[in-house]
Structure 1
């Protein structure tokens, strides 16, 4: 090679090597190259995606599938609707994953796509107010039932009720009983907090004598309580206030530490919250729909607003739930930040959940909105004890089924048997036995500990009305203001199933909703062990008796079964 050409040759060779290197680090065409590219994520932060056979952790085998998958997705535009609270659209890990309504021109005040919602660019807030804000407090559903049905049933016996109203009458009686119990419970709690606020200065001053730096721990106070009895002479000589009960003061602060209320501000914050519970959630005369200018008794489109992310600069949002659920489902997989979502599906945020119970109207309209705007999977991590207009919700379920859309619901966190204590929404007819559709999956929560404590102690269960379990405890996910945190609840077990369904349809888009549901249920992992029954400390039952399938979600096996079913369809 001539010497004059050598420099040019090596320069071109160098450029070629750089280009090849850059090409190899581009966003991969399939996802199996991405999941393990976050070395900062620990097993504790990703346990839910592990494989039981390989890792001895009862995860859903997501990592195993990603590492082995060689197929390219056939549907890159799949949408998961998250019916939930407000969402933090500015979160760094949610960038690029939020659904955009391309048929709508932003902020022109016109319903360009004629879907009944003005400027719904990224979703819709059915709790949005006319002023552009959102409702923070809803009444509980049993309060609404008492307020609306009391004029019909107060003072009457069942023998005086027409046959067509018997169901309403029984629900009114159940709601009235719950209303009275909750009013008494929260009222007493509120009074105790008011007392604690008043007593705090005395307690703090007393303990400062023993701990000048105020650095006491629960263990130290417990030891001190055992040492200094109520009539301790040393203490009585030390204080001018001879009638002060040191034991009671120590116990006071121990209770505060145990409940996370060591500071006066903590107690005041809790007292303010309970004041809102009593005066809003439990107030028969409170009307949260006034600011929306909506009649909750009429099923119609258009109410609410497009403000799905009402965040104020410098103020942490009260509502964080949607941000956590959405990140778990689809947090950006290629930005080398935070976490990696299960899928690359777009998230359609829909707001219906203030503090309190969701309105059946909002649930029904949110489902219909999601279906009409192209969602394939609808995640519903919310629930309530009563349902005033369950017929509206039932019709919405059937509407989603007709359009081949899957509904995934969290079973709830009351440690109850939902076969005996029915929760809403559900896929049951009014007889509470017959299923009204084939597109609803109810999900319980498990821990990462295989054995007796496999089922989360808070999780609801039910041989008939919980379909299967999925990881839902100590789940690491996105929080508002670019935070990441661990959270627990069946709210995080449901997205495991929603994400699995989304991946199935991403690769096998011709499967029906009935097939996808059955694939998820049939492919779960059965564990032939006894577990502690939620709500008890030591009562053991077969894990197989706590859900319809007796299984834990297994994404890897679900994808394998989906492939086989898909081939059979051809």
Structure 2
């Protein structure tokens, strides 16, 4: 799960979210830092979505409650800001082991977990390119472009691309694992070597740097210690300086990274590890009923990627009138949690079945804050997207955090076949991330972009939102930009329920705010282009303008 996991994890390692270390250029005051994305450019000089402006001026009550399906990780459904905002399946009787509403899922009171079996759930799974290699290696290993059939050519090329990716990633993480094992062994030795200079181990990077540069030349004690000791003191200093620069500054953090990296090597990247066997379903067919009703985080659910859904859902639906934490974008909204994400890439089967579930059980908006670079069974997902379009459901997707031009680098799920054919559907919005900085770094340096395949941008840096364990955190990533759009779509529909999904999409794109800025293209050092060239609309989400335009479009339909 690259937005959720790969970013949260390398920031950790690689599932939404990418933590930014840059200081936000905000007006003073806690409110501005925690709610900057709600502000208005003309009023507050901040490139927010003008949400506060709309709520200050709106005097009417919403007409309808809108269900937003969040296809993601498990959720903290007991969070104080979300517990009253979780969808309830009133047609199902809780815990009677019967499918009361005959929808194909037993005891699905508040959604469904497609990656679980009873009360246990998948934590680690393959990346999609590993599955793709496993699927096609026997068929394509000794083939060439001239020997494969025309029908197989696309998957043959995908197999080669996946194989190259697997080789590169395996090499990197195996080397990293060796380095971490070495670091665990050397850490206490390095600390002991410097105890003469820092008895309390309270050194800074600058102090270590000065010790190495100055004392290695002038201090006889230093030279003596180095000459009389089999430990290379200079190397020990360099090691600790490196640790201070990294995200693993303590022995405990290094050990944790080693454990995580070991799982990446032996599970995420292991062609012989197949997490699907745990579920017990048939991975080759679309079917209802596999999985579990268990959609909430367990007491042991402490890993960073497991609170991703909680963060996403808070932006959409956190209670606005309880004077706690944050205020969600929409008031009349219920979150339908659908779990498909774990440490690894989501299965196309789970994506498709979650979309079908959401549509069949009344969702109007589906938020998908996850991404992967390969798709083994894209056709399943494409058909589910068309099904959602047919039933007037809007799909909102995070563009991803790889600094890719996704017009050139395929990313999934998508409304694009990446083969030159027409878009799959007209109800799909892909969302990139912007910051508070009204300069060349306006577009988040991690955000994917694309004049054809990213529709618009929304705030996604240093967003304060709900988190697991009844907490609140700042986080960054296109994972947090997408729910800004999902919440806006829900808000529009709660007031103007007769609009179609295509109309809501066009309203959101047309009503965005343009910014006349030259920005650095993500993934480059200094290549600059007009901001308008990085997405189809060339705009940033604006709730106030969207609600105003929605009213106009709705009135014309009467």
RMSD of aligned C-alpha atoms? Answer: 1.7
Distance 1:391 1:456, change over 3 A: same
Write out per-residue CA displacement over residues 350-393 of structure 1, whole angstroms, 9 at most, x where no aligned residue.
00000000000000000110001100000000000000000000
Task: Judge which range, 327-336 or 408-417, deviates more.
Answer: 327-336
Change (3 A) 1:442 1:241: farther
Bigger Rg over Cα: 1
From 53, 73, 89, give the equivalent of 1:64.
Answer: 53
Per the alignment, in what secondary structure is the counterpart of residue 337 of structure 2? strand
Structure 2 gaps of 5+ residues are 1-28
Counterparts of 2:379 and 2:188, CA distance in 1 = 53
Shift of 1:315: 5.7
CA contact (8 A) 1:228 1:246 kept: no
Report SS of the residue matched to 1:159. Answer: coil
Residues 230, 246 of structure 1: 8 Å contact kept:
no
State the Cα distance separating 1:555 from its structure 2 match.
0.8
Cα deviation for residue 533 of structure 1 reads 1.1
Q: What residue in structure 1 maps to residue 120 of structure 2?
A: 133
The 5 Å alignment of 1:204-219 reads 204-219=191-206
Q: Is the 8 A contact 1:470 1:497 kept in 2?
A: yes
Q: Which residue of 2 aligns with 1:412?
A: 400
In the superposition, relative to structure 1, how do residues 311 and 432 fare at CA in structure 2: closer, same or farther (>3 Å)?
farther
Are residue 548 (structure 1) and residue 533 (structure 2) matched? no
Kindly indicate whether the alpha-carbon contact (under 8 Å) linking 1:296 and 1:359 is maintained by their aligned counterparts in 2: no
Matches within 5 A, 1:247-396: 247-312=234-299, 319-344=306-331, 345-396=333-384
Q: Deviations over 1:288-320 (max 9, x none)?
A: 012211122111111000000141269667611
C-alpha separation between the residues in 2 aligned to 1:314 and 1:322?
12
Residues 1:178 and 2:159 are matched in the alignment: no
**Shift, 1:324, TM fit:** 0.5
Is contact 2:398–2:479 with CA below 8 Å preserved after alignment? yes
Give yes or no for contact 1:87–1:321 (8 Å, CA) kept in 2. Answer: yes
> Does structure 1 retain, via aligned residues, the 8 Å contact 2:305–2:343?
no
Distance 1:154 1:239 in 2: 54
> 2: CA distance between counterparts of 1:510 and 1:502?
12
Alpha-carbon distance in structure 2 between the residues aligned to 1:396 and 1:535: 32
Match of 2:72 in 1: 84
Find 2:179's aligned residue among 164, 167, 192. 192
Residue 429 of structure 1 deviates from its aligned partner by 2.6
* 2:413 corresponding residue in structure 1: 425
Superposed displacement of residue 333, structure 1:
1.5
Residue in 1 that maps onto 2:40:
51
1:516 alignment partner in structure 2? 504
> How many Å separate the matches in 1 of 2:462 and 2:308?
15
Aligned equivalent of 1:504, options 492, 513, 516: 492
Once the two structures are superposed, residues 177-218 of structure 1 have per-residue CA deviations (whole angstroms, 9 ceiling, x without a partner) of 100000001111111111111111111111222111111122
For structure 1, list consecutive stretches of 5 or more residues without a partner in the other structure.
Answer: 1-39
Inter-partner Cα distance in structure 1 for 2:217 and 2:178 = 25
Q: 1:168 to 1:310 in 2, by over 3 A?
A: same
Q: In the alignment, which residue of structure 2 is the partner of 1:246? A: 233
Displacement after TM superposition at 1:242 (Å): 3.0
- Residue by residue over 1:16-54, the C-alpha shift from the partner in whole angstroms, topping out at 9 and shown as x without a partner, is xxxxxxxxxxxxxxxxxxxxxxxx951000000100011
In 2: Cα distance, 1:106 partner to 1:314 partner: 23
Residue 209 (structure 2) aligned to one of 222, 234, 237: 222
Separation of aligned partners in 1, 2:168 and 2:219:
40
CA 1:96 to 1:432, structure 2 compared with 1: closer, same or farther past 3 Å? farther
Equivalence for 1:471:
459
Deviation at 1:430, TM superposition (A): 5.2
Matched, 1:558 2:551: no
For residue 250 of structure 1, report the CA deviation from its aligned partner.
Answer: 1.5
Quote the offset at 1:232 in angstroms.
6.5
- Within 1, Cα distance between the matches of 2:253 and 2:418? 44
Q: Within 1, Cα distance between the matches of 2:545 and 2:370?
A: 27
Q: Residue in 2 aligned with 1:398?
A: 386
SS in 2 for 1:442: strand
